[in-house]
Structure 1
Amino acid sequence: MSIPLQTAICSFGMSGKVFHAPFIHANPNFNLYGVWERSKKTAQQFYPEVKSFDTLEEMLSDQAIELVIINTPNVTHFEYAKKALQAGKHIIVEKPFVINTAEGIELIELAAKQKKKMSVYHNRRFDSDFRLVRKVVQGNWLGETNQVEIRYDRFKEQLSPKLHKETPGPGAGLFYDLGSHLIDQSLQLFGLPQAVFADLTILRPISKVDDYFEVILYYNRKRVILKASNQVREGLPAYVLHGSKGSFIKSRTDIQENDLIAGKAPDSEGWGIEPEDGRGLLHTERNNEIVRELVTPPQGNYIDYFSQFYRAVRFEEALPVTAEEGLDVIRVIEAAIESSRDRRVVAFNSSK
C-alpha cells in the first residue's frame, strides 16, 4: 500500500488551482495537505480538508508536510525553494527554475546536502503534441532531422492581470514565461546547442516587457528556431520539422489546459486525448515508399509527471525533470539574452 506524499502549494492562483492542485488531488500517491494563502482564502471551497497557512514560515514549520510546490512569481523561486529545502522538504519548482545560473547551482548543492528531491515543473513535456513530436524525432521518421521550428503564439490585446508578469524586472517577460517551455522541449529532442542567436523585443505599445522572441539554436548540420509572440491572431503550426527523408507538421492542440480551466478533472474519461482534427501531418519515405498521412498523437497527461516524482521520492527512481535539466534551460536563456542585447551569436559552453 502506497504512503501518500503530504503536499503543500505556495500559491492558489491560476498555477495552483489549475496546474497543480487537480493532479495532486487526483493522484492517490499524494495528499493535498496545505496551501499558503496570503489574502484570499479560497482553497477550502475546492478542497474542504486542505489546511490554509497565512505565512510561508508557518507552512514550512509543519512537520507533516513532505513536499512543497514553489509556484509563485519567477523572481521568488530561489528564495522560497531555498527556505523549503532548509526546512527539510522535497520541492517541485515551477518553470523557469530560477532567474540565473548561480541561483540554480546553489539550490542543486543545497538539495544534495539536505538529501532531498528537487524537480522543475516542465509540464509541457507531457503534452500530447510534444509526445508525438518526440516519437517522430526519436523514431527517425524523417531520417536525419535538420530543420525545426517550434512556436507558441497568442493574440493578446490587453496586459495580463498578473502584475508580476508585466512589470520590468528579473524573470519577467514572454521569454522567461514561454521561452522556458520551448527551450526545454528543444533540449529534450536535440541536447545542448553549440551556439545561440536571439531577438527579444517589445511589439505592443502597451507592453513594458518583451512580448516577442525568436531564438536560433545552432547544432552541427541542424538549426532549431524557437518563436513566440502575443501579436498572432492567425496561428501557424506549433511544430514544423524537416529532415533528410521528409517533413512533419503539427498544431498545438493539447487539450489539458483548456479542460483544466473549464474545471474538468484529470482522472475523468478521455483525459488528454486530442480531437481527431489535431492529428499531425507526416510526409516522408518509409520502406522505399513515399507516404503522406495523418498521425494520431498519444494521450497527454500531466499526472504522469507527479506519478514519476512520487516514485523518485519513495523508490529512488529517476525524477521526471531534474534540477540540472531546469538549469540548462536557464543557461540557454542567459545566452539568448546576451545575444539579443549584443546583437551577436553567442557560443554556448556545454561544460559549465
Structure 2
Amino acid sequence: MASKDSIEMDQELAKRLFTEGATVVLLDVPKGTDFGIDIKSWNTGENFKGIKMIPPGFHYVHYSAVDEFGDIAPRVGFIHWFSKSEFLVKRWDPKEEELSSEPVPEEIVQRLKDNLMNLDRYLGPYPYDTWKQWQELTNRIDSTIIERCAPVCGYIRSALELENCDDKSRPRGAETSRKRKRGACLSDEQKEQELLPDLKPKAGTELRLTELPNLHYPEGSTPAEITKHSLDSSYTLDLLLSKLKQPIEIIGELQLAYVCFLAGQSLDAFEHWKLLVSLICRADSAISVRRLIYIEFLRTLEAQLALIPEEVLYDIVASNNFVYHNLRRLFANIESNSEVDARLKSEAVRMRDRISTKFVWDFSNLQEEEDDEAPVVVSLDAE
C-alpha cells in the first residue's frame, strides 16, 4: 500500500507533468497498432490519439503496423528530444501504413492545441513507472547526439531498406568480388556468398553512428607493437574518441545504440553496441586516463544488463558469452593496473559482485588467462 505522502507526491508530480510534460498527437493511427514509447508498448484502441505528460528529455516513439490477420510488420520509430510542454503532431499514412514524414500543416496543429481540453481524453499518459529505468539507460544522451546520429530520413527501421552496392560505393575495408575470386579455392559458404547480391542500406535510412577505425595500430608498427595494440585496444579507442566533440559522448552513443536495439529492434544498432563494449573493455592503458568514461561505462552496462531480453541474453551465452568474456578482461585490467584509482577499483568490484550474483558468472582468478583468451605466440624466426 502506498503511504499518504507518496500519494500526495504522485498527485503533485501528475500536476507538474500535466503542465510541463510534452504531448505527441498521432492522427488516424489504425486500431490494434502496436504502439509504444521508450520501453513500454500497447495495442491502440479505436479512439487513441497519442501520449501526454511526457517528461522533457530524450524519448523513443515506436510502432508496428498490424494487418487484418494479426501479422505484425517490422518496427519503425523515431528518437526525439522533447522540450518542456512541447506539442508534436504526426499523421498516419494509410497508403504506406506508417507515420508520414510530411509535416502536419500549422493550422491543424494550432486547432488541436486550441482543442486540447477535448483531445485530452483520447491521450494516454506517459508510463511513469518506467521513467527511472529509462533515465538510467539514457542519461548520457543529449540533443547533440540525437542530431548527429539520427537517420537523415527521420525514422529508425528494424528492417533496413537495402539497395545494390557497387565496388565504388562499397564500405571501406570490404573486398571486391574480383579480389575475392583471386588466389586460393573458395569454400562452399564463400561460393554461396559470391552468388548473393551486394547490398547496402538505402542512403539516409541508416543510423549515423560513429565508424570504428579500420586500423588498430599505428602505421609502420613493428610485429611487437602490433601484438601490443592487439592486446590493448587503447590506441583504437583514442582514435574513436578523437572523432567526437567530447570523449564522454561515447557513453551517450553506447546508450543510444542499446535503446535503438531494445526499443527499436535494430540489429545494426545491436552490432554497434557490441563493438563499443568490446573496444572499451579491451583497453588497458586508457582506463586511468579516461576515468570518467569507465565509471559511466560500468553504471551504464549494469543498467543495460538489467533490461536485456532473456532471449538475447541466452543468445549471448550460447555465443561463448560475449559480455562475460569482455567484462572479465575489463575487471582483470582494472584490478592489475596500478594507475587506476581506488574509487574506480571499488566501483568495479561492487559491480562485479552484483552481476556475479545475478547471472551466476564466475569472476574469480581474474589474472589467470582462460584457455580461449590466451595470446598465440608466433615465431618469426626462419626455420
User: Which of the pair has more CA radius of gyration?
Assistant: 2
Instruction: State the structure with bigger RCO (CA 8 A, min sep 6), 1 or 2.
Output: 1
More helix, by proportion: 2
**TM-score, normalising length from structure 1?**
0.26
